[in-house]
Structure 1
């Protein structure tokens, strides 16, 4: 009741894009079908953003290495520079969603996706001048990285603001489905487009998709910007830090599989390494579709402990596998376990800040995923060089076990805090 009274005193701000924002969802209960519609329709903008990321993902390394003639290190840098931009811009994207509204954040991000597509066209046309083409390409990747932060964080905050905080887990889960579904569809589609028409057409399609997304986002109703004191980045970071560390520990398994599963299979003289990635992704999406409601029923911490345990088991199977089918089972279990790590801990992370700092919390929390994926590659590479590829997955399983211990500590601390509040 106190929370509802507080919300009633908050005047909804006027959207800068001319539409009237809806009032806080707690005062306007929605039907189940309306909740599902708002969640999926908002996640669609994430799908467009990550389709823009996925389309050039499989073709840019070859373009830089073969067509422009640069080393594989530079080719890898052309991909990783986007993730660097994403990591650095996450906190700012969250603050923007809190201050001017998540709809505006998504619109800015879709503009950035469109600009990256246009820049990719220019880079392809400049192929006769390799150094200039590379510079333009890198600039486009930086823009795309910032756009990823704006859309990814803004879409989640927009969806939560429309359907209510009680549906946070579902919103985060569907946003993840849109993310990984778009990457899975975009990479092979980009290869087909390049083979048929050339790299510049990838840029054309990205630009067209972004314009379509921008048009649809403009038509969708904004949510009210909730007034209140915005916490500093340092304050938000301090609150979500333990949850972010848990996310990072769980993400190491994903990073290890994405980076080294092909080499692991080659070291055993097995074929169909790509099928292991397919099973990982399929199990990931399946778990989010089937079990996202478990977070609301059992709580984020309990679900996170179960997910870490399943992920650790899958990684152990991978590390000790002596047959390809065992490795496939391990990859599937890892994907199934990792699927709900982000939303289960994310729900608890968002609860540590006031409602008007939700975007900042999501942006800061998501940053730990980027950090984990950034350090997993070189760290796992050192382990593989010193011990072998199986040890990479054994190391990742230890990280998941560490996630279990951390989550149990967080759960006990939360229960103790609730007990103290009830006594007071």
Structure 2
């Protein structure tokens, strides 16, 4: 009887929106690892131009998330998703047009904007349709769609680039985009009732673009994403330095497996025990993974660090998103979702650029030590920004159950 009363998580709409999120993230990573080389070989772009062509996508995504978070309720959540997906696919088609590097840069910016639009919509919709009592668990499963794409996308992109042309990669991406659009047509998003008291404030106030309740946890997300960006961007360079290039190709695979295996349990624990029950251990595990990475001298150590970083940062990512959504009224979930992803994208996007100035002075090994310590220090910041409040809320909940 208790199982029958448990709200259903794996509904048709949940599966659809998770699938759509997988498709757009897969396209993002497919192009992320191939567009720079293509720009150099086909457009004669310089190395710095290739870096800008690769990275400007994230700037577009940040702009898209910042703007659409405010207008998503006015446009409609499903409409926002469909519009974003259609233009995301059209922007993918525009890569076939050769008008030089400036046009390619402009298209990458637009492509990123449309992903920010579609990604914010999908995150907002899933937060709305997940039962309240299974919010963290549901967001954990939803986030796994992006985790899978993170592991599969670069693998497919690099494999295709070695055996076929960039045009074939584009055709594959366009096909995925069309599938995403067609799939999204079948999603049902319940109408959100917004009273005049809770309606979004008009004007160009900061609260019209950023959800204040989500800012504290967004700061934590920004810092840990900044630390993780060093792994995402420089693990191959580090692997060359320590002569473990062949092993490094499996790093993100074990990372993804660690996330996939652990998230179902961490999501349920967070719903039943509270965020602190997950967040404090993940800080320690993530920091341990970074410190272990700094000492890697063999394949076992390198892959073990990947597992620890997956258990740490991988679960921290979904947990902070769940916190942001739980702290926010339903009519501002779009802003909360965009606030979270702005922080995540900013950390992952600008981290490699800033760390690029530090690496020549520290080297990779020392950098990972510094960032591991940074993660531990962020634990203290988390306590003051959210952990303390979370503990008080859970104590009140225990007292109310005992009363």
TM-score range, shorter chain: 0.7 to 0.9
**Residue matched to 2:237:** 263
Residue number among 62, 65, 83 corresponding to 1:90 in the alignment = 65
SS in structure 2 at match of 1:220:
coil
SS in structure 2 at match of 1:344:
helix
1:224-243 correspondence runs (5 A): 224-227=191-194, 228-230=198-200, 232-234=205-207, 236-243=210-217
**Residue matched to 1:204:** 171
**Residue matched to 1:186:** 153
Looking at structure 2, the residues matched to 170 and 219 of structure 1 have their Cα atoms a distance apart, in angstroms, of 24
Return the offset for 1:186.
Answer: 2.7
Residue number among 362, 367, 370 corresponding to 1:392 in the alignment = 367
Task: Verify the 8 A CA contact 1:280 1:332 in the aligned structure 2.
Answer: yes
SS in structure 2 at match of 1:219:
coil
1:214-233 correspondence runs (5 A): 214-227=181-194, 228-230=198-200, 232-233=205-206
**Residue matched to 2:74:** 99
Task: Verify the 8 A CA contact 2:136 2:271 in the aligned structure 1.
Answer: yes
CA displacement 1:127-164 (0-9 Å, x = unmatched): xxxxx232332232122212221222211221232233
Looking at structure 1, the residues matched to 233 and 115 of structure 2 have their Cα atoms a distance apart, in angstroms, of 21
Task: Verify the 8 A CA contact 1:38 1:163 in the aligned structure 2.
Answer: no
Mark the CA change 1:271 to 1:412 in structure 2 (over 3 Å): closer, same or farther.
same
Instruction: Give the aligned length.
Output: 387
Looking at structure 2, the residues matched to 419 and 283 of structure 1 have their Cα atoms a distance apart, in angstroms, of 31
Looking at structure 1, the residues matched to 361 and 223 of structure 2 have their Cα atoms a distance apart, in angstroms, of 21
1:3-402 correspondence runs (5 A): 35-122=10-97, 126=98, 132-194=99-161, 198-227=165-194, 228-230=198-200, 232-234=205-207, 236-272=210-246, 273-402=248-377
CA displacement 1:99-143 (0-9 Å, x = unmatched): 333211211121122112210122xxx3xxxxx232332232122
CA displacement 1:327-378 (0-9 Å, x = unmatched): 2211220111111212222222223332100110110121111111133213
Task: Verify the 8 A CA contact 1:118 1:207 in the aligned structure 2.
Answer: yes
Instruction: Tell me the C-alpha RMSD between the 2 structures.
Output: 2.6
Return the offset for 1:317.
Answer: 0.8
SS in structure 1 at match of 2:334:
helix
Looking at structure 2, the residues matched to 112 and 381 of structure 1 have their Cα atoms a distance apart, in angstroms, of 33
Mark the CA change 1:348 to 1:185 in structure 2 (over 3 Å): closer, same or farther.
closer
TM-score of the two chains, using structure 1 as the length reference:
0.83
Looking at structure 1, the residues matched to 129 and 393 of structure 2 have their Cα atoms a distance apart, in angstroms, of 29
Mark the CA change 1:37 to 1:222 in structure 2 (over 3 Å): closer, same or farther.
closer
TM-score of the two chains, using structure 2 as the length reference:
0.87
Task: Verify the 8 A CA contact 2:8 2:131 in the aligned structure 1.
Answer: no
Task: Verify the 8 A CA contact 1:248 1:368 in the aligned structure 2.
Answer: yes
Looking at structure 2, the residues matched to 163 and 238 of structure 1 have their Cα atoms a distance apart, in angstroms, of 22
- The runs of 5 or more residues in structure 1 that have no matched partner are 1-28, 127-131
Return the offset for 1:385.
Answer: 1.1
CA displacement 1:293-325 (0-9 Å, x = unmatched): 221122123311111111011111112334342
- The runs of 5 or more residues in structure 2 that have no matched partner are none
